[in-house]
Amino acid sequence: MSRSTEFLAGCRDEAPLLLGVAPFGMIYAIAALAAGVPAWVAQLASALVFAGAAQLVIVQMLAAGAGALPIALTAGLLNVRHVLYSASMAEYVRHLSRRWRLLLAYLLTDEAYAVAVLRYQRRDGAPTGAQADPARSDRAESDSIAREAAPDLRHWYFLGAGFTLWAGWQASTAAGLLFAATIPPSWELDFAVPLTFIALLTLLLRERAGQAAALAAAIGALAFAALPYKLGLVAAILVGLLAGAWTVRRLEGAR
């Protein structure tokens, strides 16, 4: 496989995910305008933050009159999961130049991670990363000859997938901004944001610990509602984390 075939394969495999991403981009843009965010700032945010759930959270909190610090804390907490993606990708991209890693880090979103990690975990033919898991190192010597003949170009696949998602996210934000001008406020499309949270929440509630975290956080959001600048949301999320951790420990103790 050449660089361009890897790149194009990444684009092709990422493309179906745009069907799911594009409506989020449009909802984000519409809700941003409804919250009073200037259109150019809303578009810029899609490039700066480039994380759908966090952008929806920011817009939701702006609409509720939250202060900058609570918004930053909430979005910062929500995005911690990217550290997990980064850790999961580390073994595959460790051998790349700093410039490549700086670029791929920017493109490491939920959806690009999901597609790229599958490419790296697929075992058909392509050589594994330069410092793949140590259990395979006994075969490294015989492999090294093959590796020189066929260098690992899967970062081009990652680039293709990440770039496709990036372009789709920017385009759907722009489309939402253009579309929003034609929608009367009485359609209340900003309500799609809490509905999105409900849908994502329901998908996450399969385990006991997640249920405890969600319940505690929801109660906390009401209990701490009077805190200024919506700091209550940050407190509520922290209470939820504690409840989740406590439930895991209690379930493990019961076993």
- For residues 37 and 71, the answer to whether their CB atoms sit within 8 Å is no
Q: How far is the CB of 138 from another protein (least distance, A)?
A: 21
Considering beta carbons, is residue 115 or 213 the nearer one to another protein? 213
The 68-87 contact track toward another protein, x by CB under 8 A, reads x--xx-xxxxxxxxxxxxxx
| Residue 22 sits in the site that holds another protein (CB under 8 A) | no
Binding segment (CB under 8 A) for another protein, from list 115-123, 135-143, 145-153, 190-198? 190-198
Q: How far is the CB of 136 from another protein (least distance, A)?
A: 18
Dihedral, 56, 74, 203, 81 alpha carbons, nearest 10: 110
Q: Which long-range contacts (CB under 8 A, 24 or more apart) does 192-200 make?
A: 192/27, 192/30, 192/31, 193/27, 193/31, 193/56, 193/59, 193/60, 194/60, 196/24, 196/27, 196/56, 197/56, 197/60, 200/53
For another protein, the binding residue among 150, 167, 178, 204 (CB under 8 A) is: 204
Beta strands in 3-135 (DSSP E): none
Position 173: which residue type?
A: T
| Residue 202 sits in the site that holds another protein (CB under 8 A) | yes
Rounded Cα gap, residues 51 and 53, in angstroms = 6
Position 166: which residue type?
A: W
| Residue 99 sits in the site that holds another protein (CB under 8 A) | no
| Residue 203 sits in the site that holds another protein (CB under 8 A) | yes
For another protein, the binding residue among 12, 38, 150, 151 (CB under 8 A) is: 38
Q: How far is the CB of 194 from another protein (least distance, A)?
A: 4
Binding segment (CB under 8 A) for another protein, from list 2-10, 48-56, 133-141, 173-181? 48-56
| Residue 216 sits in the site that holds another protein (CB under 8 A) | yes
Rounded Cα gap, residues 167 and 169, in angstroms = 5
| Residue 128 sits in the site that holds another protein (CB under 8 A) | no
Rounded Cα gap, residues 243 and 212, in angstroms = 6
Q: How far is the CB of 149 from another protein (least distance, A)?
A: 26
Residues 169-188 touching another protein, rule: CB under 8 A, are 188
Distances (CA, A) of 184 to 28, 181, 196, 218, 250: 16, 8, 21, 31, 50
Considering beta carbons, is residue 149 or 199 the nearer one to another protein? 199
